[in-house]
Structure 1
Amino acid sequence: MSAEFGRRSGTWDRISKWFGGRRPKAPAETSADGREALLLAAAAAGLPLAQAAYPSGYRCSCDRVGCPTPARHPVSFAWQTQSTTDRAQIERWARHQPKANFITATGMVHDVLDVPLDAGREALERLLASGVEVGPVAETGDGRMLFFTLTRGTPEDEDEWWPCELDCHPETMDEHPGFRWHCRGSYVLVPPARLPGGLGVDWVRGPEHPLPDPLTLLETLTDACARYAGENGADQLTAWPHRG
């Protein structure tokens, strides 16, 4: 598996691909074995996984009429307790539901800093040029970039929990323009995942990269988001619900 990820990360780490202005219109095809290997690698890196919905045509596989987050949500209300890094359980899930997406629960081992794609690409370029240890990074086909970090959500003092509402309902969009911090009680899709319309979620830097402290990325990401907000206007900054 390490050899496979070496080849994949060697391709993904080419900055010319990220910033050459040629965003792929559809995700790369992943075989069943490749999908399972990517999921197991994420679990081996400590990301707890649970089953999620998947696209059914342009709709969601769930039974909800007018699902607001098609193919982006867990299939069970108990996703937080079901989330696991157990290899055997993930293999069973992946083989029983070969079309299913998976989410990873944040705030246990890791957090995710979630920014607009253009801002994320700019920030990633700056971080790598500065020699900062970035860690795993994913891109979503609907225009977001996900930076996986160590969690800041497990302090000894319960009053110091960092709730996800900070990102869902900021007091002013000027303070957090387009920036979402997934921590305790939240989740994101883990690659490889597929969205309606032929879009997907794929690794730019795979889970073999160690998780960094989020504070080492925060200033660069917020600066890039601020520039993005100034160039695109507040109407580009609406967040989709990401609570279970």
Structure 2
Amino acid sequence: MEREGRFSQWLRRRPRSGTGSGTPAEAAALRENLLLAAAEAGFPLALAAHPSGYGCSCDRIGCPTPGRHPVSFAWSTQAGTDPEQIGRLLRNHPEANFVTATGINHDVLDVPADAGRSALESLEARGIDVGPVAESGSGRDARVLFFTATRGTPEDEDEWWPCQLDCHPETMDEHPGLRWHCRGSYVPVPPARLPAGESVGWLRGPEHPLPDPLTLLEALTDACARHVGEEPEQPAWPLGR
């Protein structure tokens, strides 16, 4: 309960930009607190690119997902929850964003923002424990991310439950509605800065227990069916590097 109270205070102090407003020292402290809270919740974190002007800090010309992808091809093995490691990365890369690797301790159900907000309202009205929820960007490109328990990584691959919703960074465009991030995928973790002043921030923080993804799936797919067809197909993210 102590952590939940402290995290709630951080969220009340966080502006919509997700990066803090006050002095640079206060913004850095708030950012560190938010990332450490995510790590404490068991979300494996890896260093990611950050916006540079209207582009990306990476060396890829015309990067299609600026500020939303890991900086290393070894991100899946580098991702971790050690607070000392995260602190070192923050000190050495003060502008960097972070991603969280899915399919290890959690999965993410990723939907267009209108569908996500509608589903979140419906689920909460029905008293369903939704768990952590983040929002990325704004306007037509916005997405809502529902953090759930993972289906796991069984030693016997025959026990793996294949699903056409499984989403990998290189196959995002195959799932313009609901994307299920599990093994081999990642999402930006709040607080993250995106180009043009956009951000990734928590709607419900990581102090909330992770729900079973199947308890959310019906509401999310129904919401996507109502909302996705109303807008032109959106560009997919993140893409592989």
Say whether the 8 Å CA contact 2:69–2:238 is kept in structure 1: no
- Alignment match, 1:168: 172
Cα gap change, 1:131 to 1:139, in 2 (>3 Å): same
Cα gap change, 1:167 to 1:221, in 2 (>3 Å): farther
Shift of residue 168, structure 1, vs aligned partner:
2.9
Provide, for residues 79-117 of structure 1, a one-character-per-residue CA deviation record: whole Å limited to 9, x for no partner. 011000001000000111111000000001100000000
Percent identity of paired positions between Structure 1 and Structure 2: 65
Measure, in 2, the Cα distance between the counterparts of 1:53 and 1:85.
19
- Alignment match, 1:19: none
After TM superposition, the score normalised by the length of structure 1 is: 0.85
Say whether the 8 Å CA contact 2:173–2:235 is kept in structure 1: no
- Alignment match, 1:236: 233
- Alignment match, 1:40: 36
Secondary structure at 1:35 match in 2: helix
Of residues 70, 94, 107, the one that matches 1:111 is: 107
Measure, in 1, the Cα distance between the counterparts of 2:208 and 2:51.
29
Say whether the 8 Å CA contact 1:167–1:181 is kept in structure 2: no
Shift of residue 27, structure 1, vs aligned partner:
1.1
Of residues 78, 85, 88, the one that matches 1:82 is: 78
Measure, in 2, the Cα distance between the counterparts of 1:203 and 1:116.
16
Matched ranges for 1:11-160 at <5 A: 27-30=17-20, 31-141=27-137, 142-159=141-158, 160=160
Aligned-residue CA RMSD (Å): 2.3
Say whether the 8 Å CA contact 2:193–2:199 is kept in structure 1: yes
Cα gap change, 1:188 to 1:216, in 2 (>3 Å): same
What 5-or-longer segments of structure 2 have no aligned partner?
Answer: 21-26
Runs of 4+ aligned residues of structure 1 deviating over 6 Å after TM superposition are: none
Shift of residue 153, structure 1, vs aligned partner:
3.8
Say whether the 8 Å CA contact 1:178–1:238 is kept in structure 2: no
After TM superposition, the score normalised by the length of structure 2 is: 0.86
Aligned residues: 225
Measure, in 2, the Cα distance between the counterparts of 1:193 and 1:207.
15
Measure, in 1, the Cα distance between the counterparts of 2:66 and 2:228.
26
What 5-or-longer segments of structure 1 have no aligned partner?
Answer: 13-23, 171-175
